[in-house]
Chains A and B, each alone.
Chain A
Amino acid sequence: MSVAAHNPSRGRGRRSSPLSWRWGDRLVLLCAWAAGVGLCLIAGAIVIYMGYRGVEYLRPSLIFSRPQTGTSQAGSGGILDPILGTLLLTVIGIALAVPLAVGSAVWIAEYGQGGRGRQSLARVVESSVEVVAGTPDIVIALFGLAIFQLGLFAPLSFTAEGGGVYGRSFLAAGAMMSLLALPPVFAATRDGMQAVPAHMREAAFALGKTRITTIRRVLLPSVRSNIATGVTLGISRIIGDTAIVLVLLGGTHQIEPQNSVPVLGLLRGTGTALTSFVYENSPAGEGAAPQKAYAAAFVLLMFVLGLNLIVGRIGREKPLTSVV
């Protein structure tokens, strides 16, 4: 051991200098610095490079014009529809995920403890969420395709002349997106609920409130910031996902409502999102318009950066529970 080389320091606060360490330790120290600083540099390089490309290719006209079917870079239009598609998918996914995730997290935290039956059910639910979190998005996408091609769900997507169900629509993609947002919202809510001090519940019970009233009036408001963090993480998973969009959104260049019924037609229609737009316009897709791909990827990265800032801001805000 390095005891011999180590000079016991006198006085407070003096740290042992790496110069007196063994070579092996110095090497590990060097590697640790290299790993930490290297990752920061990689992240910086990605942001700077994408920012450079974004400034180079992104024009306001690009954001406000719709994509066109065209073979040349100049003729393929802008990225308005992908942006709107991403927003619509996010809204659908979050709207479906939040009630499910918050409801089950509340049940786990507040009701899932008492009795053996409940405990095992709680374990089943927790491990199901864990499985959903670990399932690759491409598998979720294929699962969605299998479900929405059932005749039962025909009204939710485009139906061909012969009765074949296409199984691809905003609703189908959004529903599967909700599975992506479910785990972060669930985990954030559950952890928040479990961190609420017991005396807050006891105080509410002592005032004669029922359990569900306590949950609604005391517990849920106090974990609001946790839920917000979870939702933000969920949103960033949804807008960053490509596989589900590629498989389930139909891959049309523009948002194409199924019919003229205002909201339903749109939900049943096909469209495009930022991620699939980047993919289709990269050399891997068909368009081969790398400038458009860079511009869209830059917008996507800005969204993700913004969401990251929001998470940081919410996280720094003191949760209500620590005040009590």
Chain B
Amino acid sequence: MLERLRTPWPDRRAERSLGALSLLVGVGVVAMVVFVGIRAWPIFEHNGLSWLGPGGHLETQFANMQATGVDAPASAFHLRAWPIVYGTLLTSVFAVGFGLAIAVLASIFIVELAPERLRRIAIPVIRLLASVPSVVYGLIGILVLVPFVGNHLITASEKASVQNTVELTGAGLGVTVVILTVMITPIMIALICEALMAAPVSWREGAIALGLNPLRAVLAVTLRAIRPAIVAAAVLASARALGEAVMIQMVSGGRFFTPKPTDGVIFPFEPLRTAASTIVDYVDGTGAPALRATLYALALMLLFSAFVLSIGGYMIKLPLRKYQTRG
């Protein structure tokens, strides 16, 4: 057997085995959709698509699912998960919005403005920010930021004003969005920087020769040329933000609650749960069929959005690849 492997392979056999290997990746993706889909099916069977909508009290629904045990009656599968969907969207939209603005500015800084010395520091530092494990961010969040916000930024009267509906500890939307922004900004910076560097210098030089100052030349010419890269960066970063589980579970307060902008100053302090953090929270309860189906339904929702976002990002990047070879 080993002898056969060691002798040079005929070309055709080599191609077939390598091709089969690469097909395995595709098969894996299909298997992922199928397996998660099968386990999520009961939720769709009992609720249709309306489980994504509002209605009812999510806390009682989850308690109901946990209580029913192995033979769950049909009523246990009742789910209206709007607070989770809303929490997921809220954190991702805010984090991607803030992150995108910071990433574009920081990329311009790194590529165009920073002195050589500073640039040499900035690039590895950004890479480091991208690779800090999410649990470390979560730990800093829960042990440093959450107590700080809880003790110094929320006043006692604000806590008292809502004490009958929700407890404000400091863990909530604000801290979650801040940390999530720090986590996803480096990904966007990497993509935007790459595109900025690949854009032809002559375009920018032309703009400067026409009398624009160097910064305005970047804003007006280079940045406009790399718009697809910026969109792709935002898309990929939202995939990351949607799927972040452990960090959010640690700092979001872990309550089924919908923070409302109309609540004014306490809006950023209100707790919430996202799809991924709910899964982490309840994953030990997968013995109960109703709860298991719920968690897999949430996973399917995440998988579907990741699917759409990855394919979208890939499509947006395709023309760029062609264009970058010119740079």
Contacts and interface: CB of A to CB of B under 8 A. Distances in A.
Chain B interface secondary structure, helix, strand, loop or mixed? Answer: helix
Given A16-B214, A43-B128, A107-B22, A135 B140 contact: no
Which residue among A32, A103, A122 has the maximum number of chain B CB atoms within 10 Å of its CB? A32
Contact of A136 (B133, B140, B144, B302): B302
A135 B32 contact: yes
Interface string B283-306: 100100000000110010011001
A278 B25 contact: no
A139 interface: yes
Interface in B1-59: 8-11, 14-15, 17-19, 21-26, 28-29, 31-32, 35-36, 38-39
Contact of B21 (A49, A104, A243): A104
Given A32-B113, A49-B140, A279 B246 contact: yes
B276 interface: yes
Nearest to A213: B8
B131 A32 contact: no
Given A36-B110, A39-B126, A307-B131, A137 B245 contact: yes
B135 A3 contact: no
A185 B236 CA distance: 18
Nearest to B210: A3
Contact of A146 (B29, B35, B144): B35
Contacts of B212: 1-3, 6
Interface stretch (B78-86, B195-203, B257-265, B307-315): B307-315
A42 B28 contact: no
A146 B39 contact: yes
Interface string B91-119: 00000000000110110111001100010
Contacts of B162: none
A147 B35 contact: yes
A47 to B, nearest CB: 7
A129 interface: yes
Given A25-B216, A135-B303, A137-B243, A308 B11 contact: no
Interface stretch (A68-76, A87-95, A282-290): A282-290
A42 B182 CA distance: 8
- A: contact size bracket: 35 or more
Contacts of A284: 138, 142, 249-250
A16 B218 CA distance: 14
Contact of B244 (A28, A136, A210): A136
A242 B21 contact: no
B127 interface: yes
B61 interface: no
- B: contact size bracket: 35 or more
A181 B299 CA distance: 20
B246 A243 contact: yes
A196 interface: no
Interface string A110-135: 01100000000110111111111111
B310 A278 contact: no
A129 B25 contact: yes
B9 to A, nearest CB: 5
A60 B6 CA distance: 46
A138 B133 contact: no
A125 B18 CA distance: 12
Contact of A142 (B108, B109, B215, B279): B279
Interface of A: 1-3, 6, 8, 15-16, 18, 20-21, 25, 28-29, 31-40, 42-44, 46-47, 49-50, 99-100, 103-104, 106-108, 111-112, 121-122, 124-143, 145-147, 179, 182, 210-213, 215, 236, 239-243, 246-247, 275, 278-279, 282-284, 290, 293-294, 297, 300-301, 304-305, 307-308, 311-312
23 contacts: A18-B213, A32-B106, A39-B106, A39-B129, A39-B182, A39-B189, A42-B129, A104-B22, A107-B18, A107-B22, A121-B19, A129-B25, A130-B314, A132-B28, A134-B306, A142-B295, A143-B299, A146-B36, A146-B38, A212-B11, A279-B138, A282-B138, A300-B135
Q: Which are the 8 A-B pairs with shortest beta-carbon distances?
A: A136-B243, A240-B133, A104-B22, A36-B109, A134-B310, A212-B14, A103-B21, A35-B105
